[in-house]
Chains A and B, each alone.
Chain A
Amino acid sequence: MTITDTPTASTPTNRRLTTSKAMVEAIAQEMDRDPSVVYLGEDVGAYGGIFSSTTGLLDRFGPTRIIDTPISETAFIGLGIGAAVEGMRPIVELMFADFMGVCLDQIYNHMAKIHFESGGNVAVPMVLTCAVGGGYSDGAQHSQCLWGTFAHLPGMKVVVPSNPADAKGLMTAAIRDDSPVVYMFHKGVMGLPWMAKNARSIGDVPDGEHVVPIGRAAVARAGTDVTIVTVSLSVHHALDVAEKLSGEGIDAEVIDLRSLVPLDREAILASVAKTGRLVVVDEDYLSFGMSGEVVATVVEHDPTVLKAPVQRVAVPDVPIPYAHVLEYAVLPRPERIEAAVRRVVAG
């Protein structure tokens, strides 16, 4: 078994996989290992999940463990909770995070609270997966990240892998976790044939059992001049920007949080203590979310480490527009990240 803290760790048995294949591999390995793991959701069986989150699993595990549901999110998420309470380890797929609205009661009043309300008597060891993110003009009801909303509501862990190795390792950890874990995968990092190609959506993935502990950020790129804290697809953009700016003598450190809950505050503090400059990049909405939380983490600890005002690059508080130009204007695209890094370095 490998336990890795960094996405770059590699062993001789590594293969290159897409993020979706890595995720499926973790699910399959855990299903082999533990008969109580089942997967349910809309079109997760023969269809293989519209984001290839379950490709091939039906053939391997059959319809009693890979379960297609009607479009009844409240019922099947609640059903996952019930099954988890009875000791199963269901993975339940909400097709898009945007659809949380239909079934939020089950998520935050039940899945997230039963353990607490019962004084620890009852556990809900389930995984709720969902696709997030925009960039392909899918409009206001299909492009949101919303991880800040899940993270705001106590009682669930929230993991957001950015690359294939972490997708596998975090999925394994999520399934084994005794708490409910929300596992949010960005469509842009899955390596889907029908999405814009992203070079980092294919990467080395350790063979066999692979666990990435939940709650530990990764230093995706070490640097000394400025810290970019981010998650998910934005990690890739941040790395691209960091590469570009390194040619100009700006040495950026990129921190991939990998989970919002628990938040690895130590990793943030350690990096900012070193660089003294902070940019937070978040594809979720700007206000009341992850970017504010990261900044608060630093200033609550010691505002004097900051050599310049912090910069936040997030979706301004507007729904995601359809029109390509408008959508790209709200997303944390590399150009916006680069400008923010330049401002904070100049400041």
Chain B
Amino acid sequence: MSARDREVEHDTHLDLLSWLLRQMIRIRRFEEKCAELYSATKIRGFLHLCIGEEAVAVGVVGALDAHDAIVSTYREHGHALARGVPMESIMAEMFGRATGCSGGRGGSMHLFDASRRFYGGNAIVAGGLPVAVGLALADHLTGDKAVTACLFGDGAFAEGEFHESANLAALWHLPVLFCCENNRYAMGTALAREHAETDLTARAAAYGMVAWSVDGMDVLAVREATDRALAYVRSSGQPCFLELRTYRFRSHSMYDPDRYRDKAEIEHWKQSDPIPALASRLVSEGLMTAAEVEEWLAEIESEVATEIDEAVAVAEAAPLEPVEDLTRFVTTAAGDPVRRTS
């Protein structure tokens, strides 16, 4: 068995840590490349990076089973990559190619992959939450043990759509895992300027849900909390709320001059960068020597760089959707490749 396969199987604690680390690095480097391609105007529109928040993407999404469902936001590259949506198809989507995971129609904010139950990619703040409750309802009614994880921000918590969804999921005992990525800002507005009560976990609990807050910069803490939450949702059939306390290192989107945050605050949070934190943990837990970690990191970096280069090359060479096919998928036609529950 190769090192990669072992990572996927998570046979040992080390395998799990390896997988988490590799995925965080993949996401970080992928997004750095996207920023570069954006400056080169290969990628257009709005581009929201999750750099700094990778531990949430990898910790939550990696804990899900293949048949669980995910609903995400416009800051979803990390979620999609961690879910196993092929990097090539994501990059092709960023390039607006026909081979992209949304056929070039969606773009960065609308990544979809029904075969992996990855249901977007939603650019309306909190807009994905009612949909997630609906996915959970369908699973519940068909006796499926699947859980629907929905990811959203602290800003989304101020929308009625969150509150209505939380109440319904709790009222009807639906298997939803609400994952609030609390990065302390909604665009330029700090948490305390969007919420009278900033303890989001306490407010979620008021809906009659189990709710925990987790250090979202610690990928293992996120993973363990998610494992526990999923076990609870599956056994109880009740929703659960996780508040993942995290921070974005970059601006809200590529256009944002980021004048509303203190540079010292950003630097402070960078001290808890989840990637080096996990790497040093391998050493402190005695799983690897510092030299081994370094060597192994170099290996991952080079593999990831190759994967990214290939994804870019493939995307660049991929065909565009023909203009004649513009009206395809406006409504569902008989030949459309729709995934159906059997």
Contact = CB atoms under 8 A, between A and B. Distances in A.
A330 interface: yes
How many chain B residues sit at the interface, stated as a range, is 35 or more
A68 B161 CA distance: 20
B160 interface: yes
Interface in B106-155: 106-110, 122-127, 155
Contact of A140 (B105, B193, B320): B105
Contacts of A71: 125-126, 155-156, 158-159, 186, 194
Given A70-B194, A322-B96, A139 B107 contact: yes
A50 B253 CA distance: 11
Contacts of A99: 124
A346 interface: no
Contacts of B127: 102, 141
A329 interface: yes
B109 to A, nearest CB: 5
Interface stretch (A40-48, A149-157, A225-233): A40-48
How many chain A residues sit at the interface, stated as a range, is 35 or more
Interface in A39-76: 42-43, 46-47, 50, 68, 70-75
A322 B106 CA distance: 5
B4 interface: no
Tell me the interface secondary structure of chain A in the complex. Answer: loop
A101 B160 CA distance: 12
A318 B330 CA distance: 6
Interface string B304-342: 000000000000000011010011001000000000000
Contacts of A200: none
Contacts of A324: 44, 96
Given A72-B160, A319-B105, 16 more contacts: A42-B189, A70-B186, A70-B189, A71-B159, A71-B186, A74-B160, A102-B161, A136-B45, A138-B45, A140-B106, A142-B45, A316-B327, A317-B330, A318-B326, A323-B105, A325-B321
A322 B46 CA distance: 10
Nearest to A317: B330
A322 B330 contact: no
Contact of B105 (A75, A101, A321): A321
Contact of A139 (B123, B158, B161): B123
Interface in B22-48: 44-46
Contact of B45 (A75, A137, A329): A137
B110 A140 contact: yes
Contact of A323 (B123, B161, B321): B321
12 contacts: A47-B189, A70-B155, A71-B126, A75-B160, A138-B45, A139-B107, A139-B108, A318-B327, A322-B93, A323-B96, A326-B105, A330-B326
Contacts of B259: 46-47
Interface centre among A68, A72, A316, A317 (most CB of B within 10 A): A72
Contacts of B110: 139-141, 322
B125 to A, nearest CB: 5
A68 B323 contact: no
Contact of A142 (B46, B105, B186): B46
Contacts of B281: none
Contacts of B156: 71
Interface of B: 44-46, 93, 96-97, 102, 104-110, 122-127, 155-156, 158-161, 186-189, 193-195, 255-256, 259-260, 320-321, 323, 326-327, 330
Contact of B124 (A75, A101, A317, A330): A101
Given A43-B188, A137-B107, A139-B123, A326 B323 contact: yes
A68 B193 CA distance: 8
Contact of A47 (B44, B158, B260, B323): B260
Contact of A50 (B187, B323, B326, B330): B187
A280 B159 CA distance: 38
B189 A68 contact: yes
A194 interface: yes
Contacts of B97: 323
Interface centre among A98, A141, A316 (most CB of B within 10 A): A141
Nearest to A321: B105
B45 A321 contact: no
A217 to B, nearest CB: 32
Contacts of B255: 50, 194
Interface centre among A46, A47, A101 (most CB of B within 10 A): A47
Contact of B326 (A72, A75, A316): A316
A101 B125 CA distance: 11
Interface in A103-157: 136-142
Contact of B104 (A101, A318, A326, A329): A326
A175 B297 CA distance: 60
Nearest to B98: A323
Nearest to B260: A46
Given A42-B187, A46-B188, A71-B159, A326 B126 contact: no
B105 A322 contact: yes
A192 to B, nearest CB: 9
The 9 closest A-B CB pairs, nearest first, are: A322-B107, A323-B96, A137-B44, A70-B158, A323-B104, A137-B45, A47-B188, A70-B194, A141-B123
A329 B255 CA distance: 25
A324 B195 CA distance: 38
Given A71-B155, A141-B123, A43 B107 contact: no
B318 to A, nearest CB: 11
A98 B127 CA distance: 12
A99 B127 CA distance: 10
A43 B187 contact: yes
Contact of A321 (B46, B104, B108): B104
Nearest to B93: A322
A3 B121 CA distance: 47
B338 to A, nearest CB: 17
Nearest to B96: A323
A303 to B, nearest CB: 30
A137 B330 contact: no
Contacts of A137: 44-45, 96, 107
A322 B121 CA distance: 13
A325 B107 contact: no
A138 B45 CA distance: 4
B151 to A, nearest CB: 16
